[in-house]
Amino acid sequence: KGIDESTIVGENCLKQFLKANSNSCPIQPHENIEYVRCTALQRHIDSLKVICPLQFQQESQGQNERNERIVCDFKGKIKELNDHLNNICPLKISDCWYKPFGCEYNCYKHNLNDHLSSEFKFHFDLIVKFIQTLQ
């Protein structure tokens, strides 16, 4: 009704908006909201070059609490970003392997081995306590 042009919106953003707003149109109130997925446009978006969003976030916030300067130099296509963030990014925060047993520590991925080594006794005690609760 009265909308003569298309609006380009990212699929995930649109789905989140519709879910949070009872499927109401973000542009103008109307019934029967429909959206079309444009494969050509999606291919173009997937090929856009971006930097790591964690690097961008770090630059906008300054150094971390330990005054470490960890850099992620990822510059790649949007379609490569999820794999980077989930598997490679040095700025990704990792939970301790012993979190299921009660260790709440988290750190940058490259610092995890130091924590595991320095807290060996603490982790051992967590495992012993866990095993005792099973008996």
- Each residue of 97-133: pLDDT tens digit? 999 999 999 998 889 999 999 999 999 999 999 999 9
As a whole number of Å, the CA-based R_g of the chain is 22
Query: What pLDDT digit, counting tens, does each position of 31-73 carry?
Result: 666 677 788 888 888 888 999 999 888 777 665 555 667 889 9
* 31 token code pair: 């019934």
Contact indicator for 112, 96 with CB cutoff of 8 Å: yes
How many other CB atoms are there within 10 angstroms of residue 72's CB atom? Answer: 19
The reported pLDDT for the residue numbered 65 is 54
Count of CB atoms situated within 10 Å of the CB of 45:
15
Q: Are 79 and 94 in contact (CB under 8 A)?
A: no
Task: Report the pLDDT value the prediction gives residue 1, as an integer from 0 to 100.
Answer: 45
